[in-house]
Chains A and B, each alone.
Chain A
């Protein structure tokens, strides 16, 4: 029967990758890093590079997991799943406390050590029973950026939010507005993730609000198309431009004077440090006494050399 042949073929197709993957697993401690980022978010490549290097240097195994569409309920399942596989530790973002605190607490209580990275707050990390928090407090970073912009004489801005469904993104815009001492109002736009859409929405907003003093973008996803938009309407270099996170184009922009500063939260450290901290904790029982703030660090045209060399890879 050709049906049996087909079934046999299917078994072979399934088995091949599973086999190779099963034999590739290394010795030593095993950690799982869970993020909230959808597959399309390029920023997280630095995270992957960070855990790859840390895994290699410490001789441990680190896996990266994320919900493909960025659905946080799916992320909660991934944390439960990671806990069920009994790793030595879980490193996870805390993108939404309501959704994720339950699974994280359950993981901690079933004997898995947890470090919170990137999203969430030090307080929330303590409440779920995590060892520590490694990251950049988002509201504070936005607030610091707002203060800086205020010092540079800014009174109004456009916040290009490409990840409107994440509370942390809105906190950055809100923090910036509060730092400036203005009401956020309709100065934040939901740009979506498509570069062409982002570019055209920025153009449309600046066209209808020509008095806008500054543009704030929340990462390469929105910064790169915004750069193109400013090139197109002739505002590049003229309008005050600040951004979160770094990427190749952002660094080019800072070098060219189009972008005034980038706020680096140093994703490399957010990925690298938890692996190192946990491995040392499990091997020798040593643990830093405090949380680690990986950012905010302002990157300006001064001292760009190293940043430029490693932008998008380790920075």
Chain B
């Protein structure tokens, strides 16, 4: 009896033994990591000398991947909390248009237009969430409604006010604005000038920028993506709130019984998703200087695809922000890389379908490993 108790901590029968391999395999990021390696190796082989890995090429797929990352972080946390948001794409168009209307038509200072737009968008996100938790309707339906409501306003308002569907001139209005720089600016310009001067990266051959590097800094869009990924990852894995997110998506009822404020968690995640869409839109508007009624079309699905490739389960309660970020990276690299590899662009969708199917199959396999179902 005595010796038995002494041995207990060494081999507690209540703790299941798991091999290191199995532990590695059930990490949600696994698919994303494998996919990233495969994609980079493939494109290094087939598109290595096509300009994909020169400074311009790297910036190109990095920016596209960063765009996906920004919306994927929001979609990922929301999906882990057990809900979807199909209004992300429309929200991007709507937010951009609001900034344009506030700053150009109403002639507000750009920082004020941005702040009011952020407040408006997160409020709409909250409304999405409140309708979902109050009515108990699937978020699929509620946010589908907002997909159309927001897109409708995005087309209607500029036509009503300006008689056109693209409002431009925001870049000029934003010159010298302290907040606009956070979205449209670039950093590390000095480093790139040095790299250009040293002949490491390409420089302009002609025009009034001749001699300057073709890539003159890292766009704030990429910084936003990295900050949001870091924030989401820490929130999810290092805080009590992160556990609440997992619990809300895993089994909302038992989470409620153990004191998790499930409704509040879900509404906050809807707000965060809207916030991410708004970051995307603001960066886009500041970069291109205009807002268009058709911006962000189908981006909601691209966000969800990135999250699913990144290993999150569609049923909620399982996933990782790092995985979603890798999913976004794969998505961006494949989308842009196929061009460099000289593949007909319509085939991109075939690849996307294949990746998606592969990711879902892998996810199902992993879920069976976790739950033990056969």
- Asked if A69 is an interface residue, CB under 8 A from chain B, the answer is yes
Indicate whether B374 reaches chain A with its CB closer than 8 angstroms: no
Task: Give the shortest distance, in Å, between B357 (CB) and chain A (any CB).
Answer: 10
Question: With the chains together, A193 CA to B206 CA distance in Å?
Answer: 42
Contact string against A for B residues 196-234, beta-carbon threshold 8 Å, 1 for contact and 0 otherwise = 000000101111011000100000000000000000000
Please measure, in the bound complex, the distance between the C-alpha atom of A68 and the C-alpha atom of B297, giving whole angstroms. Answer: 10
Q: Given A109-B206, A110-B56, A110-B202, does the pair A18, B288 have CB atoms closer than 8 Å?
A: no
For A170, list chain B residues within 8 Å (CB).
163-165
Residues of A within 8 A of B (CB): 3, 6-7, 10-11, 13-15, 17-19, 21-22, 24-25, 39, 63-66, 68-73, 76-78, 80-86, 96-99, 102, 105-106, 108-111, 129, 164-167, 170, 190
Contact (Cβ within 8 A) A3 B46? no
Report A-chain residues with C-beta under 8 Å of the C-beta of B135.
none
| Interfacial chain B residues near A109, Cβ < 8 Å | 204-207, 209-210
Q: By the criterion CB–CB under 8 Å, are A22 and B345 in contact?
A: no
Check if B250 is an interface residue, CB within 8 A of chain A: no
B25 CB → nearest A CB, Å: 7
How far, in angstroms, from A115 to B349 measured CA to CA in the complex?
29
Set of chain A residues within 8 Å of B351, measured between Cβ atoms? 14, 17
- B263: Cβ under 8 A from any A Cβ: no
CB pair B171 A98 closer than 8 Å = yes
Q: Which single residue of chain A is at the shortest CB-CB distance from B365?
A: A3
Q: Which residues of A contact B56 (CB under 8 A)?
A: 80, 83-84, 110
Chain B residues whose CB sits within 8 angstroms of the CB of A68 once the complex forms: 298, 345, 348-349
Q: Nearest A residue to B203 by beta-carbon distance?
A: A110
Q: Give B206's nearest chain A residue, CB to CB.
A: A109
CB distance from A111 to the nearest CB of B (A): 4
Query: A189 CA to B345 CA in the complex, in Å?
Result: 32
Mark B residues whose CB is within 8 Å of A: 25, 34, 38, 42, 46, 50-52, 54, 56-57, 59-61, 63-64, 155, 159, 163-166, 168-169, 171, 202, 204-207, 209-210, 214, 284, 287-290, 292-298, 336, 338-351, 354, 358, 361-362, 365
Contact across chains for B46 and A18 when beta carbons are under 8 A apart: yes
| Interchain CB contact (< 8 A) of A165 among B165, B288, B298, B345 | B165
Complexed CA–CA distance, A81 and B348 (Å): 15
Asked whether, in the complex, the Cβ of B294 is within 8 Å of the Cβ of A165, the reply is yes
B342/A21 in contact, CB under 8 A: yes
| A22 CB, nearest partner CB in chain B, Å | 5
**Complex: A170 Cα to B163 Cα, angstroms:** 9
Q: Majority SS of interface residues in chain A? A: helix
Closest to A164 in B: B165
Q: Which listed residue, A80, A82, A102, A167, touches B165 by the CB 8 Å rule? A: A167
> Is there an interface contact between A22 and B166, defined as CB atoms closer than 8 Å?
no
* Chain A residue, CB-CB nearest to B298: A69
Report Cα–Cα, A64/B343, bound state, in Å.
11
In angstroms, Cα B54 to Cα A166, docked, is 33
**B166 touching A167 by the CB < 8 A rule?**
yes
For the complex of A and B, the 8 pairs showing the least CB-CB separation, nearest first, are A109-B207, A84-B56, A98-B168, A98-B290, A111-B205, A165-B294, A84-B57, A69-B297
Among B59, B202, B288, the residue within 8 A (CB) of A98 is B288
Given A85-B51, A106-B214, verify A129-B166 contact (CB < 8 Å): no
A155 CB to nearest chain B CB (Å): 22
Q: Is B341 a contact partner of A11 (Cβ separation < 8 A)?
A: no
* Cβ 8 A contact of A110, one of B46, B205, B345, B362: B205
Docked pose: A117 CA to B262 CA in angstroms = 55
* B294 adjacent to A65 (CB under 8 Å): no
- Chain A's closest residue to B366 (CB) is A3
Q: How far is the CA of A170 from the CA of B155 in the complex (A)?
A: 13
Q: Write the nearest CB–CB distance from B310 to chain A, whole angstroms.
A: 16
Indicate if the CB atoms of B339 and A14 lie closer than 8 Å: no
| Alpha-carbon distance A24/B347, docked complex (angstroms) | 15
Q: Is the CB of B38 within 8 A of A108?
A: no
The residues of B that contact A19 with a CB separation of less than 8 Å are 46
A105 to chain B, nearest CB (A): 7
- Chain A's nearest CB lies how many Å from the CB of B212? 9
Supposing A18-B46, A21-B341, A98-B169 touch, asked if A129 and B207 sit within 8 A by C-beta, the answer is: yes
A84, A105, A190: the one within 8 Å of B60 (CB): A84
- Residues of A close to B294: CB separation below 8 A: 69-72, 165
Q: List 24 A-B contacts (CB under 8 A).
A: A10-B38, A10-B354, A10-B358, A21-B342, A22-B46, A22-B341, A25-B342, A70-B294, A70-B297, A71-B295, A76-B288, A77-B60, A77-B336, A84-B340, A98-B289, A99-B290, A102-B288, A108-B206, A109-B204, A109-B207, A164-B159, A165-B155, A165-B293, A167-B166
Residue on A nearest B349 in the bound complex, by CB: A68
Cβ-defined partner of A71 (8 Å) among B159, B214, B297, B343: B297
Q: Are A85 and B298 in contact (CB under 8 A)?
A: no
Contact partners of B340 in chain A: CB under 8 A: 81, 84-85
Distance of A233 Cα from B296 Cα, bound (Å): 37
Contact between A97 and B60 (Cβ–Cβ < 8 Å)? Answer: no
**Are A14 and B42 in touch, CB under 8 angstroms?**
yes
Q: Which residue of B lies closest to A78 (CB)?
A: B339
Determine whether the beta carbon of A14 is less than 8 Å from that of B38: yes
B200 to chain A, nearest CB (A): 16
A102 to B219, CA, bound (A): 14
Residues of A within 8 A of B166 (CB): 72, 96, 98-99, 165, 167
CB-based contact B168/A73 at 8 Å: no
Complex: chain B residue closest to A39, CB-CB: B346
Could you tell me the distance between the alpha carbons of A98 and B100 in the complex, rounded to whole angstroms? 13
